[in-house]
Structure 1
C-alpha cells in the first residue's frame, strides 16, 4: 500500500474514504467497503484479474486521514491512539485499500471552508471519482460541513458520495469511543467484538528489574509507544507474536505499577507460558484475549506468587478450542 503525507505524490484518480479511522473498527470497515463496486473476494489475484479486464480506468482505493488528529491540533493535548501508523497501514491493506494519504492538519487546512476543501483537496488534487464517509462526518472550518453538505457540494462535480449509516452491535453504535470505553474498564472481549479482532500492543522488549525471575515467573518488559492507548491496569490472558517464535504463544500480561513490590511507575510485563528464551531487543505484539483481574496489592510475595500461579492456570483453562 502506498502511504504519503503529500498530495503531490499521491496516486490518482481516487476513490476516497474520509475520516480518522482510529482503531479501524467494524464501522470503519463499512465506510471503506462502500468505496468500490468491484467484487470483494478473499483472493487478491481474483481482484487483480477483474481489474485487468475492466474497461474503466482504475481508481485507487484511498483512505484520506489527518495528522495530527484534529483533536490534538485544536486542544494542544495528546490523544493516545488505538492504532499507530504501522498497525493502521497493515489493517487498511488487509481491507484492500491501495493508498493512505495523511493530510497534515495545520491552520491552513483547518481554515478551509467545506466548499474549498472539496474543490481544492478532493477534486483538484486527489481527482476523486467517488467518496465515502460515515453518517456523522464533519469537515471544513469550525466543522461547518456535514455528510449531507459533502454530498451536495460533490454533486456539483458529478462525484457520488456514499454516506454510511452507523454500524450497530447489540443496539450500541460501533465507534472508536466505544472501543476506548471498553478498554478503559478492562472489557477486552467487548473491544474485540467492536474491532473485529483482538486489541494489540506492540513494543520492544527491554531489560527490567527482573523481579519476575526471583518469583519464578520471568517476564518480558514491553516498551510501548507513549502514543498508544493503554487499557485498564490489570492482568490479561494474551497471545504473543514475535520473530523469536515459530508460532504465537499463550501468555499472561500485567499492566500496572506493581504495588506489592513498591513500584513507582506503570510497566507492561508478559509472562509467556511454557516457553523460555531471550527476548531482549525483539519486537513483540501482544493480542489481548481476556481480562483476568484488576491490579491489587498483596500482603506478601508468597501471596503474589500464589495469585500469579492461579492467573496462569486460569489463562490455560480459558483457551478456546480453536486456539
Structure 2
C-alpha cells in the first residue's frame, strides 16, 4: 500500500534512494500514466523506490482567482498512484511558504534530503520554485551538483492530439465524454459517499442518491445519462444524474451530484458510489413549478434510458 506524507520537513522517506515523478497529476490521464510507468520501470532497474511528488491544492488553483475544475479528487489520485506501483507519495501542502521557496531550496530539501533522489522525471514544460524560476535546464544543473539525473518525458499524443488535463477538461465541459475517455484512458467518473438530502426527489417519483462535492470544483454541470458502481463494483447500473445547484428548488451554494438509479430498490446511505458519465442530456435550468420540473425529469429519464440502450417501454415502470 502506498505511503502518504505531506511535509517538506522530516526524515528521509527513502533511505535507499528513489526515482521521482513530479507533477499535478490531475485526472491521471494517459500522459501521467506513461510517466509513472517509466518511473516504476527505472526504480526497479535501480533497486530503489518509485515516488511521486505532487501538491494540494494544485499550484495553479492556489494562484488563480477563479476556481480550478478538477478531474480527480485526492482520494482518486492516490489510488491511481498506488495502482501504478508508486510506493511513496509526497503530497506537499502548497501554501505561501512553499510558493516562496527557491528552486534551489526545493531541490535540496525535497528531492535530495527528503527523497534521496537518483532520477527525477518531469514534463518538458516543467517549472518550479519561487516565481517559477526553475526549469528543466536548471533541474539538470542542480542534479549534476547534488548527484541525481533529471529526465524529461516526451508528450503523449493520441490521434495527433497531445494528451493534457486542460484538453480533457475542455472536452468534458463540452459534454464530449466519448472523446475524453481515450485521453484519460478510462471513462470520466466522480466518486463519493452517499449522504442524506432533503428527499424531494422521492416525493416527485425520482429518489436520488446525493454526493456533496464540497471544495472540489467539477468540470461538468447539467443533466447526464450515467452508469453507477456501488462499493468496489464496476459502473454497470444505469441511471440519470444532475450535477449543479438545483435552481428550481432549494438552490444550494455548492454543486451537488444527485443520482437516480433506474429500477433500484434499497438503502444507499453511507455507501461509496462511483458515477460514470456516459452522455450529457441538457444544461441545468430553472422551472416555474414542480409539475414542470417533474415533467422534464420524466423526459430526462426517457432520454437517459435511450442513450444507455435500455428499453424505453420501461419508462415510468
Is TM (by shorter chain) over 0.5? Answer: yes
Alignment partner of 1:176 out of 165, 189, 201: 165
Q: Give yes or no for the alignment of 1:131 onto 2:120.
A: yes
Partner of 2:298: 309
Which sections of structure 2, spanning at least 5 residues, go unmatched?
Answer: 311-317
1:34 to 34, 38, 46: 38
- Give me the TM-score of the superposition, normalised by structure 2: 0.83
Match of 2:3 in 1: 2
**Post-superposition CA distance 1:146-187 (Å, at most 9, x none):** 123212321334422221122223443322222222233333
CA RMSD after TM alignment: 3.0
Query: Whole-Å Cα distance in 2 between the matches of residues 317 and 78 of structure 1?
Result: 34
SS at match of 1:163: strand
Distance 1:213 1:71 in 2: 40
Q: Is the 8 A contact 2:12 2:114 kept in 1?
A: no
Structure 2 counterpart of 1:117: 106
Q: Does 1:240 align with 2:228?
A: yes
CA contact (8 A) 1:235 1:255 kept: yes
What corresponds to 1:47 in structure 2?
none
- Measured in 2, the distance between the counterparts of 1:160 and 1:258 equals 52
Corresponding residue for 2:315?
A: none
Give the unaligned 5+ runs of structure 1: 40-50
After superposition, give the CA deviation of every residue in 1:61-120 in whole Å (9 maximum; x if it has no partner): 000112332234445775453222211111111111111012233444333433332233
Which position in structure 2 is the counterpart of 1:195? 184
Kindly state the Cα deviation for residue 14 of structure 1 after the two structures are TM-superposed: 0.8
1:90 pairs, out of 61, 74, 79, with: 79
* Distance in 1 between residues matched to 2:118 and 2:233, nearest whole Å: 45
Encode CA deviations 1:3-57: one digit per residue, 9 max, x unaligned. 1114526233111001121221111112222214369xxxxxxxxxxx6xxxx76
TM-score normalised by length of structure 1 = 0.81
User: Bigger CA drift: 135-144 or 280-289?
Assistant: 280-289
Q: Match for residue 71 of structure 1?
A: 60
Q: 1:281 aligns with which of 256, 261, 270?
A: 270
SS in 1 for 2:11: helix
* Superposition deviation, residue 241 in structure 1: 2.1
Length, aligned pairs only: 304
The 1:77–1:9 alpha-carbon spacing in structure 2 relative to 1, beyond 3 Å, is: farther
Q: Distance in 1 between matches of 2:209 and 2:265?
A: 11
